[in-house]
Structure 1
Amino acid sequence: MKQQWQLFVGLLLSLVIIVFAAMNTVVVPVQLGFGEFSTPLIIIIFGAIFMGAVLISLLMTSILWKQKKTIKQLKKEKDELEAKIEDEVSIRVAAYLASSEVDQKEQQAYEEQLFEEERDQMY
């Protein structure tokens, strides 16, 4: 729907520009730094519009290129950080499991000690 509105507005602006240019067909002198020539105003208007469109296209291409480069760099950093986090989690899980095994062995040793003390008290 948004693209349809953009197309509609673009066509409407184009129509306004065409009507404006068609109403201004007078031949006018154009002075440049190195000379002067005469041409219809409609050609000057369309030339200015064309040059503006080219400049905007070049500017947008540059901006999009920089954005794509930044996105690529950020994706690479994200992947590196995810890998680092995954490694850290693996290390911590392994450490937890190792400490868990140590705790189980200590618990067994403590229970055996209590059992022996109870047995010694019984006899």
Structure 2
Amino acid sequence: MKQQWQLFVGLFLSLLIIIFAAMNTVVVPIQLGFGQFKTPLVIIIFSAVFMGALLIALLMASVVWSQKRTIKQLHKQNEELEAKIEDEVSIRMAAYLAASEVDQQEQQNYEEQLTEEDRDQMY
């Protein structure tokens, strides 16, 4: 929906520029450092709009490029952290399983040491 509004505003502004340029068709002199020439004002208006759009496009391209580079770095950092977490979980799980096996072995040894009478009392 947001892109539709942006398109609508862009088309509206373009229409305003076209109407403004069409109303200003007078030939005007342009003074440059090395000389002077005459051209219709409509060409100057369209040239200024085009150069402004080109400048904005270049600036936005640099911003987008910078953001893509940052996103790439963050993805790499995220993958490294996920690998680190996975390693930590594996280590802790192995430690837990080892402790669990030790506990089971101790329980088994304890039950073997009990006499028949002690077993009957427990259960």
Please state which band the TM-score falls in when normalised by the shorter chain: 0.7 to 0.9
Instruction: Kindly state the Cα deviation for residue 108 of structure 1 after the two structures are TM-superposed.
Output: 2.7
| Superposition CA RMSD, Å | 2.1
Is 1:9 paired with 2:14?
no
**2:98 — aligned with what?**
98
Tell whether 2:76 aligns with 1:76: yes
Q: TM-score, normalised by structure 1?
A: 0.84
SS in 2 for 1:13: helix
**TM-fit CA distance, 1:67:** 0.9
| Aligned AA (1:8) | F
Question: Which residue does the alignment assign to 1:121?
Answer: none
TM-score of the pair, normalised by structure 2: 0.84
One-letter identity of the residue aligned with 2:67: Q
The secondary structure found in structure 1 opposite 2:115 is: helix
Q: How far apart are residue 29 of structure 1 and its match? A: 2.1
CA distance in 2, matches of 1:55, 1:115: 91
CA distance in 1, matches of 2:44, 2:53: 14
Aligned residues: 119
Residue 43 of structure 1: aligned partner = 43
Gaps of 5+ in 1: 119-123
Cα deviation per residue 1:32-82 (whole Å; 9 max; x = unaligned)?
Answer: 233322222111111100001111111111111111111111111111111
How far apart, in 1, do the equivalents of 2:44 and 2:91 lie? Answer: 70
**C-alpha separation between the residues in 1 aligned to 2:69 and 2:25?**
46
Equivalent position SS for 2:25: coil
Change (3 A) 1:11 1:22: same
Shift of 1:115: 3.4
Distance 1:88 1:33 in 2: 69
76-85 or 109-118, larger mean C-alpha shift: 109-118
Q: Which residue does the alignment assign to 2:110?
A: 110
In the TM superposition, what is the alpha-carbon distance from 1:116 to its structure 2 partner?
Answer: 8.6
- Post-superposition shift, 1:103? 1.4
**Cα distance in 2 between the residues matched to 1:95 and 1:117:** 36
